[in-house]
Amino acid sequence: VYQLSIGAACGLSWPSDRIIIQVLDDSTDPTIKDLVERECQRWASKGINIKYEIRDNRNGYKAGALKEGMKHSYVKQCDYVAIFDADFQPEPDFLYRTIPFLVHNSDIALVQARWKFGNLMINLVLI
């Protein structure tokens, strides 16, 4: 699922000089970490501005990972942050459909979007 999710994030339609893809990897399995890092390197070799970030603890779980991710200096140059879970594959036009809500309405601080599971059949079996 990491390949699909990273690929979808890297396939977002947005000016390439105005987007940073940050992959926050909290996995504990060294093999998974290696696979995710190599996938990020593959996209970086195609000219995508992608950052692979890991941390040495899992404090706070997802919220902790997000907090740590926001501390990186390159994040300070960003006007907006889009957060996608590991199994989310946004459509290429996702940002063009959501960012205008924030740009044109200073009273809005968050846009939540509906999405479908990329692995619907697996989720149906597990439920």
The pLDDT confidence band at residue 112, using thresholds 50, 70 and 90, is confident
Q: What is the pLDDT of residue 31?
A: 95
Cross-strand pairs, 23: 52
Domain that holds residue 54: 2-126
How many separate domains does the chain show? 1
Per-position DSSP letters for 32-100, written without gaps between them: HHHHHHHHHHHHHTTT--EEEEE-S--TTHHHHHHHHHTTSGGGGG-S------TT----TTHHHHHHH
pLDDT per residue as tens digits for the range 43-96: 999 999 999 999 888 899 989 999 999 999 999 999 999 999 888 889 999 999
Q: What is the pLDDT of residue 1?
A: 86
Contact residues for 13 (Cβ-Cβ < 8 A; gap 6+): 92, 93, 95, 96
Q: What is the mean pLDDT of residues 11-36?
A: 95
Share of the chain above pLDDT 70, in %: 90
